[in-house]
A = this chain, B = another copy of it.
């Protein structure tokens, strides 16, 4: 089933918002796309790239009469934007977001949005170290796992959001927001923090450029992401991240002890288990 929307409002026309706009336009899923941004330059750029048909500074104004609203800003700002647009959204408008944390945002919407709740949180795992409308592409969501809030409220809205993501090529996985946040802390948020610490550790050693290989480039690639995005992720998922960092620090201290004491067997077992753990996490045989 192909969904079809009249006016679609994208709040934040960067990589994720811009790509969703292009994906919907390419597939003829929207009559017009309204873009909301704070910077005239970004809005001009998005218009020039054919991402949006109309530009707005005021989120509420852009939501009036819209059939679909997608909030594509960093996580910590999403509740404030939901509060701002709520009075302007029509009761039938479908509303979602694309932030990397879900519990705070979904709980805020459930608490503040009058029934029927038309907000269903989403998290398309299509992040990239690139950002900005210039990197937007209509194929960004093809094959991309997208988590949607599996909480029982607003099931018809969830079905419609699922249809939307599937129409742009995503594979939808329903997950309860708190479980989502606990799992992605370990598969995404903590790896990102660690990549940053690894980059800092290397740079602190002086000029390491001659001994930087493909491994270093891969391990640290995500550290090139937008600082304000990752700041917001930490601010909206602190418990799971802190808990996981404690476990990680404990594990690193264990390996440090094996290295210091020269435990050949324990080190080999560690690297063997790491390989198996990676295969398990990736679902590889």
Contact = CB atoms under 8 A, between A and B. Distances in A.
Contact of A251 (B127, B195, B201): B201
A212 B219 CA distance: 15
A275 B193 CA distance: 11
Given A187-B202, A231-B264, A282-B217, A274 B196 contact: yes
Interface string A109-126: 000000000000000011
A53 interface: no
Interface of A: 76, 125-127, 145, 147, 173, 175, 180, 182-184, 186-188, 190-206, 208-213, 215-228, 230-231, 234-235, 238, 241-242, 244-249, 251-253, 255-256, 258-260, 262, 264, 267-283
Contact of A248 (B198, B242, B271, B272): B198
B259 A245 contact: yes
Nearest to A203: B277
A193 to B, nearest CB: 5
Nearest to A272: B227
A244 B252 CA distance: 11
18 contacts: A183-B210, A184-B211, A187-B202, A187-B213, A191-B215, A196-B275, A197-B251, A199-B274, A203-B276, A215-B222, A216-B281, A227-B269, A227-B275, A235-B262, A238-B262, A242-B256, A246-B256, A249-B252
Nearest to A247: B201
A278 B224 contact: yes
A255 B227 CA distance: 14
A131 to B, nearest CB: 11
Contacts of A244: 201
